[in-house]
Amino acid sequence: MKILLVEDDDVLIKVLTRSLTSHNYVVDTVKDGEMGWTYGSTFEYDLLVLDIVLPKLDGISLCKRFREQGYTMPILLLTAQDTRTVKVQGLDAGADDYVVKPFDQVELIARIRALMRRGSSNPFPLLSWGDLLLNPSTCEVNYNGQPLSLTTKEYELLELFLRDRQYVFSTDELIDRLWSSEEFPSEATVRSHIRRVRKKLADVGAPPDFIATLHGRGYYLKTMDADMGDAFTATSAFVSEEGTPTAALVNLSTVAQFQTKENSPVDSQQQYLDFLNETWATTKPKSLEQTSILLEVVHSLQDDRLSSNQQVEAQRIAHTLAGTLGIFGLSKATHLARQLEHWLAGYEPLRPEQIPLLKTLAMALQQAIQNTTTIEQSPLFDEQSPLLLLVSDDSSFNQALIMVATRCSIRVEVVSALELAPEWAEAQPQVILLRLPTGLTPTKIAEPASASHWLSALQVISHHYPSLPILVMGDRDELDDRLEVVRWGGKLFLEALMPAEQVITTVVNLLGAKTYAPKVMIVDDDHTWLSTLPSLLKPWGFKVTTLADPKQFWTVLQSVTPDVLVLDVNMPQINGFELCQILRGDPDWQQLPVLFLSVLTDAASQHQAFTVGADDYLCKPVVGGALANRILSRLHRIRACAS
Amino acid sequence: MGKRILIIDDEETIQTVVQFGIRMATGWEVLTAGSGEQGIQTAQTEKPDVILLDVMMPEMDGIATFKALQSHTETEQIPVILLTAKAQTADKCQFNDLGVSGVITKPFNSLNLPEQISRILHW
């Protein structure tokens, strides 16, 4: 777990760093608020510790800035004043907790632990997965009762995996989250740490793939057998639970990635991507060269021989780099270049205390460029990415929301409530968010006397898009307000204070299972095979429903309304071919993609499958990846036909 | 109907990618220029339907280029859309006061540019 400490008191830095590192935290320290912003907005942290009194930008303003820009990591404030005003100010600025100086170190660490718990998807003080148990307060780890002796890095790896179970961590992400921003380990270093943890786990009896590899994507904790239900529980679980927000977000990126890979060669998006890759091959060396010039500037600064011309030139280079990297969709590298540009432009002459910051940024930029061998995702969004129509006059909120939305590949179109121009009506959003200005509650707007333009905006919107989900964000959270929102056809009421990240999570959920977590229904009488499928397909973000009894086919089909159906051929009572025929005989289900998955490898069976209306035929045994790819390519085809 | 676009940006990579993306998406013709001076010349001789203009360029920046384009009778009617980084969008009002047709924020996906341009210019 990685912490950013923004503190200008050297003694306190020393004490805190020692105490935090002894608890296996990785700590980056910076000494003023502006640098705190650069580090915090550029690198990944699990928690920020900010002193309130800081040079350049005070801790409360810094905290506010992070929240306004949509950053949601926990923030702990350190304050010397034990007055109510300061505490209230801090909490209002978006801090999660504060500690008054002088403080007890044990208490500080305990509060940090509590905050980290709140931020993770796992709220329990003890972290566990199968037989593995990790106790963050004592840093002890054991498997099935046997203690594991781990190095700091190995411990951190396991803790990270346990905090975000089900999440697939790429090597880059692991580097970002577990190494200090001044260190630049290679991917091989990460791999060797993973290898050592696996070995230690295997030595105490864990399965060799306890930490599994998803090829080309990263590492994750493999689902335990106990987590898989039998056929029917999987179904009912699905019906009752529409997926957690985090799961949906992960799904979104997984699907997006696969979409780009699954495109047919004629697809323009793919061709564009190919072109970007070709161009990257020549741009990369050029960008690396430009980065080394930036590093040289840092050296000159170190030796106190940086001319102002050099600095101007360096600023220009950073600007150019940001533009170039941006067009390839390399958002992290772009952000790094922008930060460099910001520091090079804003401070003339640069001062010695800014050397470490500039050096870190330039090195991180160099590494980000170096590590980009291929452009994998189509940059930003394509036409298929969902569009959010945002009706809001709150520019700082808009900015924050757009930033988070961009990270999730959601396009945002902002309109002012006053501008009921026809342009926005041409936009084809999938979801609408209306943010009421401060002090204006839904009940107030509804009063006839108010004649607010917000009310007419809402009416126009709900009239124009009768079938779209409309979210309303407002100041107050009372029953009357919620009632008004419902009357206007609003689907959800969100509190005005909700951070941008959470809003987008809600939006992603609303956009829903249909587009972004494809529902796959699998009918097979082989219980064992069926029970492995949910975990096999999980990394691809599908919602899987399994059914072992073909007699319940129709009932389950109607309640699940899958996007894809996978059928076994040989089953008792009704075989897969017959099920497919039944399906094709119903107008509602004629379009549903059907894949057969069978042990029958002969041409006659395959021929029969296509005759009864199959879209694809796979032979068992099949690996998860192959099945997932075939499913995705079917989905893609059907989506392409629909548009 | 096919359109002709002129992009003025000092970064060759951006010119190339935008050219490819727009052609790919719509088949419109895309002309490129690497500096304000060169862009003005091309605009005068080629008379494109719209000019995409990078704001921050060495020597002659986007604003100066725009003003020069406005001062020539051959080019004053051509709509100009500025390309600018997000950090600079605070200047949006200033840009609008200048009389440009619109602003597109970097980074963008070039495949979506035609749609954005069409929306701004009501094509």
The residues spanned by each domain of chain A are: 2-119, 127-222, 280-367, 387-514, 517-642
Q: What's chain A's average pLDDT?
A: 79
Write out residues 73-112 of B within 8 Å (CB-CB) of A. 85, 87, 106-112
Report d(CA A18, CA A21) in Å as an integer: 5
Calculate the alpha carbon distances from A321 to A313, A332, A335, A362, A367 in Å: 12, 12, 10, 11, 14
Q: Which chain A residues are closer than 8 Å to B21 by Cβ?
A: 272
Structure confidence at residue A255 (pLDDT): 31
8 Å CB contact of B58 and A316: yes
Q: Which residue has the higher pLDDT, A486 or B14?
A: B14
Report d(CA A51, CA A131) in Å as an integer: 40
Structure confidence at residue A119 (pLDDT): 64
Distance from CA of B3 to the nearest CA of A (A): 19
A→B interface, C-beta within 8 Å: 268-269, 271-272, 275-276, 279, 283, 316, 319-320, 322-324, 326-329, 331, 334, 338, 342, 378-383, 423, 426
Contact between A536 and A627 (Cβ < 8 Å): yes
pLDDT at B116 over 90: no
pLDDT at A63 over 90: yes
Q: Which chain B residues are closer than 8 Å to A328 by Cβ?
A: 17
**Mutation target vs B (from A272, A273, A395, A413; most B CBs, 10 A cutoff):** A272
8 Å CB contact of B13 and A329: no
Residue A20 C-beta-side C-alpha neighbours within 13 Å: 23
CATH of the domain at B11: 3.40.50.2300
Tell whether B113 is covered by a domain. yes
Q: Which residue in the set A268, A342, A381 is minimally distant from B24, CB to CB?
A: A268
* Token digits of residue A78: 């350190």
pLDDT at A514 over 60: no
pLDDT at A105 over 80: yes
Q: Which CATH number fits domain A517-642: 3.30.9.10, 3.90.1150.10, 3.40.50.2300, 3.40.50.1220?
A: 3.40.50.2300
CATH class of A387-514: alpha beta
Report d(CA A100, CA A87) in Å as an integer: 9
Strand A132-135, strand A140-143: pairing: antiparallel
Q: How many CB pairs under 8 A join A and B?
A: 71
Residues 6 or more apart whose Cβ sits within 8 Å of residue A594: A564, A565, A566, A567, A580, A583, A613, A614, A615, A616
Q: Which domain holds residue B42?
A: 4-117
* Token digits of residue A135: 């106790």
Report d(CA A334, CA A323) in Å as an integer: 7
8 Å CB contact of B108 and A268: no
8 Å CB contact of A381 and B112: yes
8 Å CB contact of B56 and A319: yes
Q: Which chain A residues are closer than 8 Å to B109 by Cβ?
A: 329, 378-382
Q: Which chain B residues are closer than 8 Å to A269 by Cβ?
A: 111
Nearest residue of B to residue A378 by CA position? B109
Give the residue-averaged pLDDT of A514-537: 75
Residues 6 or more apart whose Cβ sits within 8 Å of residue A292: A366
Q: Which chain B residues are closer than 8 Å to A342 by Cβ?
A: 87
Q: Do domains A2-119 and A387-514 have the same CATH topology?
A: yes
Tell whether B122 is covered by a domain. no
Give the residue-averaged pLDDT of A278-293: 92
What's the structural domain count of chain B?
1
Per DSSP, the residues of A503-546 read HHHHHHHHHHHHHHS-EEEEE-S-HHHHHHHHHHHGGGT-EEEE
Distance from CA of B109 to the nearest CA of A (A): 6
Write out residues 50-69 of B within 8 Å (CB-CB) of A. 54, 56, 58
Tell whether B123 is covered by a domain. no
Q: Which residue type sits at A90? A: G
Q: Which chain B residues are closer than 8 Å to A283 by Cβ?
A: 13
Question: pLDDT band at A348, cuts 50/70/90?
Answer: low
Q: Which residue in the set A271, A326, A327 is minimally distant from B24, CB to CB?
A: A271
Give the residue-averaged pLDDT of A319-339: 87
Tell whether B29 is covered by a domain. yes
Question: pLDDT band at A239, cuts 50/70/90?
Answer: very low
Q: Which chain A residues are closer than 8 Å to B8 by Cβ?
A: none
Distance from CA of B43 to the nearest CA of A (A): 23
Question: pLDDT band at A515, cuts 50/70/90?
Answer: very low
Structure confidence at residue A244 (pLDDT): 33
Structure confidence at residue A463 (pLDDT): 74
Q: Which residue has the higher pLDDT, A428 or A221?
A: A221
* Token digits of residue A173: 């992400």
Q: Which residue has the higher pLDDT, B72 or A451?
A: B72
8 Å CB contact of A426 and B119: yes
Per-range mean pLDDT, top range of A121-125, A292-296, A306-310, A538-542:
A292-296
Question: pLDDT band at A120, cuts 50/70/90?
Answer: low
Distance from CA of A636 to the nearest CA of B (A): 19
Using DSSP's 3-state secondary structure scheme, residue A564 falls into: strand
Q: Which CATH number fits domain A127-222: 1.10.10.10, 3.50.50.60, 3.40.50.720, 1.10.260.40?
A: 1.10.10.10
Domain A2-119 has CATH 1.10.3720.10: no
Distance from CA of B37 to the nearest CA of A (A): 19
8 Å CB contact of B109 and A271: no
Give the residue-averaged pLDDT of A517-527: 84
8 Å CB contact of B109 and A322: no
Q: What DSSP character marks residue A585?
A: T
Distance from CA of B11 to the nearest CA of A (A): 7
Q: What's chain B's average pLDDT?
A: 87
Summarised one tens digit per residue, pLDDT across range A189-214 is 899 999 999 999 999 988 888 898 88
Summarised one tens digit per residue, pLDDT across range A353-411 is 888 888 999 999 999 999 888 887 654 444 456 788 888 888 778 878 887 776 666 77
Summarised one tens digit per residue, pLDDT across range A447-492 is 655 546 676 777 777 777 766 778 888 876 667 777 777 776 677 7
Structure confidence at residue A234 (pLDDT): 30
Summarised one tens digit per residue, pLDDT across range A412-431 is 888 777 665 555 555 678 78
High-pLDDT (> 90) share of chain A, %: 18
**Residue B46 bridge partners (DSSP):** none
Q: Which residue in the set A275, A320, A331 is minimally distant from B11, CB to CB?
A: A320
8 Å CB contact of B13 and A283: yes
Considering just the CA atoms, what is the radius of gyration of chain A in Å? 27
Q: Which residue in the set B14, B20, B109 is minimally distant from A323, CB to CB?
A: B14
